[in-house]
């Protein structure tokens, strides 16, 4: 396993990060299998696990916490806050009120004394980002979290955070987690150059573009049963073959499949190689739903 430094933090993380979004009812409710996948990843040298409070409404964090028992000191644990976690209107966002409660909830679910990387899942238009950083800085000083991160933030807000940290003597954001794949390369325009300028680490999510780059969605084949294409009723248009975007993706998938066959690898391997060889670094989040996924 290859390891890279997470921005300017000095922390070494594996180039593959185990994503636990599918741990729990949202994906795989078999905790024993989730634990086995986690142990297999750790045994393979992966030392980086990413989850969030919103994943299966906290159950993912609980599963991760139990799975790494006895190995906690060897794992860089990343989780996130922001999305609604209850009926109370204030149980969400980036306010000091919520951040201080959310971290305690995550610490309890993960059954740990500290979180290595605490990430704001999305920007909060209702809260000054500098105020959120001030609350997170207090958590760093209290030893509850080690590093601050963001996810899917635009370049201008990343810069605003760096300026606020310098102006108010706050902890800097050390990591940004944006979507990136062969199909989604928008971050190359401004987010990646911004992160490079401020020595901010980058962990990319959705390197398989929501399953499109696995090779299982093909132009002349039916959608696989129990896949995102057949289960995602709310976003049915995203999988409608008459949709020009979908039709274009299917054409590209055929070209990529031919390229993967030419070099002797799976399309998923080709997709991961693209993100790991490209400019983002240091890590790519690889989600796991079943044992076969981890083995790939």
Q: What's the pLDDT band for 218 if we cut at 50, 70, 90?
A: confident
pLDDT at residue 230, as a whole number: 65
CA distance 71 to 69: 5
CA distance 93 to 101: 11
Mean pLDDT over 18-31 rounds to: 93
pLDDT of 296 higher than 50: no
What pTM does this model have? 0.91
pLDDT at residue 136, as a whole number: 99
Q: What's the pLDDT band for 295 if we cut at 50, 70, 90?
A: very low
Percentages (nearest 5) of helix, strand, coil residues in the chain: 45, 15, 40
pLDDT at residue 23, as a whole number: 96
Number of H helices, E strands in the chain: 10, 10
Half-sphere exposure of 269 (CA within 13 A, CB side): 10
Average pLDDT across the chain, whole number: 92
pLDDT of 103 higher than 90: yes
Share of the chain above pLDDT 90, in %: 79
Instruction: Tell me the torsion sign for CA atoms 133, 284, 60, 89.
Output: positive
Mean pLDDT over 25-54 rounds to: 96
Question: 86: helix, coil or strand?
Answer: coil
CA distance 62 to 66: 6
Q: Summarize pLDDT for 249-265 with one digit per residue, the tens.
A: 999 999 999 999 999 99
Dihedral through CA 91, CA 92, CA 93, CA 97, nearest 10?
10
CATH 3.20.20.100 domain residues, the chain: 3-209+270-295
Q: What's the pLDDT band for 222 if we cut at 50, 70, 90?
A: confident
Burial class (CB in 10 A: 0-12, 13-18, 19+), 88: exposed
For 27, residues 6+ apart whose C-beta sits below 8 A from its C-beta are 21, 56, 289
Mean pLDDT over 43-63 rounds to: 98
Identify the CATH assignment for 3-209+270-295 out of 3.10.580.10, 3.30.70.20, 3.20.20.100, 3.90.950.10: 3.20.20.100
pLDDT at residue 217, as a whole number: 87
pLDDT of 237 higher than 80: no
- Identify whether 118 is a catalytic site residue: no
pLDDT at residue 292, as a whole number: 45
Options 3, 23, 55, 217, the catalytic residue: 55
Question: 292: helix, coil or strand?
Answer: helix
Write b or e for each residue in 38-69: b if 16 or more Cβ atoms lie within 10 A of its Cβ, otherwise e. beebbeeebbbbbbbbbbbebbbbbbbbebbe
Distances (CA, A) of 203 to 81, 156, 261: 16, 18, 28
> Residue 255's CB: how many other CB atoms inside 10 A?
9
């Amino acid at each position: 396993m290859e390891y890279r430094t997470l921005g300017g933090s000095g922390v070494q993380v594996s180039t593959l990060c185990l994503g636990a979004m599918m741990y729990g009812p949202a994906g795989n409710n078999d905790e024993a299998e989730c634990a086995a996948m986690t142990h297999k990843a750790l045994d393979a040298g992966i030392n980086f696990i990413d989850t969030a409070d919103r994943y299966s409404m906290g159950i993912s964090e609980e599963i991760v916490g139990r799975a790494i028992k006895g190995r906690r000191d060897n794992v860089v644990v990343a989780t996130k806050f922001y999305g609604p976690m209850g009926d109370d209107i204030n149980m969400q966002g980036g306010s000091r009120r919520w951040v201080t409660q959310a971290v305690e909830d995550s610490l309890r679910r993960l059954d740990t004394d500290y979180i290595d990387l605490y990430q704001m899942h999305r920007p909060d238009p209702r809260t000054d980002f500098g105020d959120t950083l001030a609350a997170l800085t207090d958590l760093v000083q209290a030893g509850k979290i080690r590093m601050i991160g963001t996810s899917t933030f635009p370049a201008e807000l990343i810069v605003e955070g760096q300026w606020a940290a310098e102006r108010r003597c706050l902890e800097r954001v050390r990591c940004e987690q944006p979507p990136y794949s062969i199909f989604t390369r928008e971050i190359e325009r401004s987010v990646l150059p911004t992160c490079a300028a401020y020595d901010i680490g980058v962990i990319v999510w959705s390197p398989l573009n929501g399953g499109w780059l696995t090779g299982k969605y093909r132009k002349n084949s039916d959608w696989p049963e129990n896949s995102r294409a057949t289960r995602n009723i709310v976003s049915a248009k995203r999988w409608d073959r008459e949709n020009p975007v979908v039709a274009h993706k299917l054409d590209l998938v055929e070209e990529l499949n031919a390229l993967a066959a030419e070099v002797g690898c799976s399309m998923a391997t080709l997709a991961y190689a693209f993100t790991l060889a490209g400019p983002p670094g240091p890590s790519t989040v690889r989600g796991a739903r079943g044992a076969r996924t981890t083995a790939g």
